[in-house]
Chains A and B, each alone.
Chain A
Amino acid sequence: MVRKELPLAITFITGGIVILANFLAPAWFVQTNKDITVWYQIVTALFCGLGVVNLCRIHGKKVSQKREGWPFSVVMLVSMFGFMLIALYVGQQHQLYKNLYNNTIVPLNATMYSILVFYIASAAYRAFRVRSAEATILLVTAAIVMLGKAPIGEAVLGSWVASWTTWIFDVPNTAGMRGIQLGATLGGIAMALRVLIGIERAHFGGTGGE
């Protein structure tokens, strides 16, 4: 009983306070909502440790069983704990931390995302191979936008590419994205209601009990 009803009650009360604070705004609810927002930040910040625990479990197992590629798991674990120890020891304002951040996280992030440049053309061809009217529309729009955003597009094809790109973003893109957003928001509202009322319980799965 407690295993099922207590979490549902906590969900309902927490969500109820947030909703009442925003719609009715009585003083007590507003203050409680502010406090709960801080609580939420603390709770989600503590959740991050789950990622570390899972990485340690998965990669620790790989290292202990000496499975293929285990040295890379060692590198990963050393980098993770190394970064954490240095950051926690020296603090965020120390020059060592700033150098470490600016010369590891920043270039690694930017470079990792940019390697998509090498694959995106072939990936796009495989994914959107012109097999239907929809795929053709998507590909043609993408081509116009890419040419319109690059200086070479306007230089070779003329100014129409840039003005078409602007029009695509202002009109059909706004319409399509708004439709998608409204659809997703309505879906989100329905799901939020289901969670709040307790109809949706799938997220409690895998933790034993009822």
Chain B
Amino acid sequence: MTTAKTVSKDFGFGEDEAMLRDMARRMLSERLPMDRLRKLVAEAPEPVYDKGERAPWDTQLWSEIVALGWTGLAVSEAEGGSDISLAGIAGIVEEVGRHALPSPLIPTLMASLVLRAASGEVAGQLLARIAGGATASLAITNDRGSWEPEHAPLIAREEAGALVLHGDARFVQDAFKADFLIASARLGETFVLCAVETDADGLRLEADHIHDLTRDQASAHFQGVRVSDAAVVSRDAASVLRAAWPGLLVLVSADLCGASERLLQTTVEYAKERVQFDRPIGFFQAVKHPLVDAMVEIDRARSLLYYAAAEIDAGIDKAEIAARMAKSAASDAAAFISDRAIQLHGGIGFTWEYGLHIHFKRNLHNQALFGDGVHQRKKLADLLIGPVSTSPNLGRDPAAT
């Protein structure tokens, strides 16, 4: 990542980044075409929805992805990674979203960004593990669904030279595919960030039953998990998480943008082929115009996504604004095209077999993840308008002039 404080005119998306993105698109469209995805995750609803089994994923494909070095995309070269810019990573994650790839890639990239923000020896060793193919996920969300760094889900106590963690971290993404978790805990008046192996003593992962078929999610119950000094990533977790936050929002936004563009193109193709009243339904403006509106919304989200990634790459302090704008736009664009995709397909889109619901549900999950559009705009208003005044007399009273 560069230190120059300006965003380059191509968002830092040069030939190398385009090549990586195109390679990812080729590989995923060959290895995970729609019929293969449907067979993999949506053969039938009963195993996941009735029997509570976790959604399957392609571990063979994952080992190929690890061999390609994707876990180390956000890891520095010194630690064995490929140190790709966030702009370049966003391009790859868009392809991951487009193909609705079930994998621990995005949670692992998120953990990488948090570890990079933490820096230091412990973080460096964990990043090296990730570059070597280890997987990770963040355990930073509490029972109230708060993403605030100060609302750490766990309590830490110092006991005999080690930290002991208690509490429940909720909404841990792809926890059952992760080798270790990065967990945040309150320690007195401070916050600590710890690495905890998913098979650690005192840690129990309880699967959430979720609608999305392309991931797993868990509640992580910490019942006296001991963390040695060698696993304490940071003793200023709130600052680290705040620094990493824009990047986390960019990753989810990229996933949303990719899946949304896929839903748009799928629906456009259907509207060209499906004939009613002797014409392809795409002829009718009640079908044509909402597809255009969806395109406009997706383009807005994509432009903001690249802008946010480029600002983060350039080390710009206010990148949080761009990232929250990107997440808001991407969440809303995803909600709109997901809705129109099912509706404009008509009855066939409503069937399990057709498979539109796979991207629909992945979007629905990602819309909520780290805050939907309304949440992002609430945070943006605090940044751009200022906090809501507590005194009724703030501001200029027009009647007084």
- To the question of whether A and B form a pair in one complex, the answer is no
